[in-house]
Every structure is written in structure tokens, then in C-alpha cells.
Amino acid sequence: MVRSAFEGSLKSAYLLQSPATFEERHQQYRHDLFQIALLKGHTKVADLIGIMPENDHKSWRPYRDRLLSEEERAEISSRYPKAMRRALETKWGFTGLIGELSRSEDPLFSGFTGLADGYAMASHILHADIVGTAVPLDRDRRDEARRDAILLAHGVRLISDVHTCLQLRLGVGYRYIGQDPAPLIDAHQRIAALTESFGKVYEDWMGVEYPDG
């Protein structure tokens, strides 16, 4: 869930970074990437239907309707050669967006590369690779004090990350439409107060995990 919030917020920020770049970026997001997704979807559905018996049955109609005609497939492939498709998908991926926003020297995205670590860890969990499966296994093997401390600290961190995404979207959105950002100060103060109400869970975890300092 937090990974989706991060990625959605980042794409919103990239789209609304500047009115000067909005049209081009919106075209890429709304149209170009959609066409590429249609082509990829066609390939996957064709593979599925190809291995199913009686794939002309009515029950498979929703899948067959997702198949492109030969003309449509040829047109999309011609308009978006493989190298272009790969470049667009890389550009609009999390790492690509983080890199471009960080290099833009836009003060709103100063230090943005620091978000990459948390997103990468969430990706490990989502994809259940060796790192993603090792993390919960390690926690389950800890004694109760260590396990409870890290679970609480991690829970607060997830809530904090969602609030960071909210503040990012608000900041970019208000700036894009030229709105007075004064209300954002109140939002920031409310979020800070909520975070403070959770107590020093991170410090408590550090004390349990690293008692020697």
C-alpha cells in the first residue's frame, strides 16, 4: 500500500512539476504508456488463450476482447519501437522519476533520492525475493522485546511515509495552480503533532536493538 502511495505521489509530482512540461508529460503518461500497455497486455493475453482448451468459448470473451488486431499491433509496434518503449517505461519508473526530479534542481525535490531506499525495500517485500522474504522471517525469529520494538517503529514509519506523500502532493498541487501555500503550514503542523503523539518509538527501538550505543 505504501509503495503504491509513493509511486502515485511521485508520478503526480512529476506531472505537475511545471505548466511548461505538463502537456508533454501528460501525453506520455495518458497516451504513450497506455498504448505500450495495450501491446504488452495483448502478448500476455494471447499467451494465456493459446494454452487454454476451447478458448473460443463465450467464457473467454472478456480476454479475447483485449486482443489487438494485426493492424493495431503493427501500428503500435511501428509507432513505439522496442527501444522507445523501454526508454519511456524506464523514465516513468520510480528510479527514473526520482533521478529526473533530483537533477532538476527544483528546491521542492531537494534530497529526493533519499526516498529510493524505502521504496526499494517495499519492492523486495512486494516481489517476495530473497530479501523480501528474509525480512519478516528475521523479525519472527527475534525475541519478544526486539520484535515488538521494531514492529512498532516500522508501523509509525509507514504512517509517516504516507504523510510525506500527502505533503508532497499538496505542495506540488498548490504550486502548480498558483495557490497561496499558507494552508499547507497548518497541514504540516497537524501531521507533525500526530507524529509526535506516537512517542519516541524509533529511539525506543534503537535502545532495544543497540543497547551498547
Cα angle, residue 98 at apex, residues 105 and 169 outer, rounded to 5°: 85
Using CA atoms, how far apart are residues 99 and 96, in angstroms rounded to an integer? 5
Copy the grid coordinates of residue 105: 534542481
Using CA atoms, how far apart are residues 138 and 105, in angstroms rounded to an integer? 39
* Helix or strand (DSSP H, E) at 23: helix 19-27
Copy the grid coordinates of residue 36: 505500450
**CA dist 36 to 9, 21, 22, 29, 160, Å?**
22, 21, 20, 10, 34
Copy the grid coordinates of residue 187: 497541514
The pLDDT, as a whole number, for residue 121 is 86
The tens digit of pLDDT for each residue in 150-173 reads 999 999 999 998 998 999 999 999
**Rounded (10°) CA dihedral 194, 199, 203, 208:** -130
Using CA atoms, how far apart are residues 111 and 57, in angstroms rounded to an integer? 55
Copy the grid coordinates of residue 39: 501491446
Using CA atoms, how far apart are residues 156 and 135, in angstroms rounded to an integer? 17
Using CA atoms, how far apart are residues 58 and 92, in angstroms rounded to an integer? 37
The tens digit of pLDDT for each residue in 1-44 reads 788 888 999 999 999 999 999 999 999 999 999 999 999 999 99
> Residues 138-160: what's their mean pLDDT?
93
The tens digit of pLDDT for each residue in 67-125 reads 999 999 999 999 999 999 999 999 999 989 999 998 999 998 887 777 788 888 888 98
The pLDDT, as a whole number, for residue 42 is 97
Residues recorded for the chain: 213
Copy the grid coordinates of residue 162: 504516507
